[in-house]
Amino acid sequence: MDALPADVRQELVMVAAAFDGHAVTTHRFRSPAPPAPLADTLRERWRAEGLAVVESRSADWTVLSVRGPDGMRTVQFRPTASGTEGLVSTWRRAASNEPSSGAGAAQTVGGLARWLPDDARVLRQIDHGDPGRQAATLVALVPGAPQDAASRLRRMAAASGFVDDPGFGGPAGRAAWYRGGPHASGEALAFRRGGEALVATVAVHDHGTAVVLHWGAPR
């Protein structure tokens, strides 16, 4: 299903990330060709394989998708000053005995879930397999105020050997919203343990708090 022309330069972005029960691999690409002939090449090659091409547009992005024997392939691209840029993603159903990206990555999201209270509602769990780095992201809703969620995360971080990351900041990090406090609608936290980094945001959501945890470490 690799229908991109040979002169297209590809760069691996994410390999076999576990996402909603699928293993997802993504490449970034650039081509000196404009989008129209690139799209024609994709359509021609896929249709020659007997695959039905689904097309859509979003702003200046064109999205072409097909479903084949090795899963679903999506190519999204847009014009640039020098040609075309885009992403190629392959989705396939992850086997039950197939490890996620990187050793121990499957345990990573489970480990993040333990940072949340028992009555948390997990909305999304993603294991990332980026080149040279493994990571995981968890999105959840928890009852109570953002301050309560932030306090729990600080306790869990300390108990797990993480310390505050003084390098986290920049203009957004110094904004009042990210500093938290009794009247803030949310807060951003950052911790480090050796080469591991954990960033969390907590924010008011309906009658509770939305929590996003992102963990990363070198392979």
Higher pLDDT, 32 or 206: 32
Residues 74, 122 share a domain: no
CATH number of the domain that 88 lies in?
Answer: 3.30.160
**Mean pLDDT (whole number) for 166-180:** 48
Domain end, chosen from 59, 93, 127, is at 93
Q: Which structural domain range is residue 191 located in? A: 105-218
Q: Render pLDDT for 131-145 as a digit per residue (tens, 0 to 9).
A: 677 778 888 899 998
Give the model's pLDDT for residue 141. Answer: 92
Strands 133-143 and 208-218: antiparallel
% of the chain surpassing 70 pLDDT: 74
Does 55 fall in a domain?
A: yes
Residues 214, 116 share a domain: yes
Give the model's pLDDT for residue 78. Answer: 92
Does 181 fall in a domain?
A: yes
Buried b / exposed e over 187-212, threshold 16 CB at 10 Å, is bbbbbbeeebbbbbbbbeeeebbbbb
% of the chain surpassing 90 pLDDT: 16
Does 98 fall in a domain?
A: no
Average pLDDT in the chain: 78
Question: Can you give the pTM of this predicted structure?
Answer: 0.54
Give the model's pLDDT for residue 103. Answer: 37
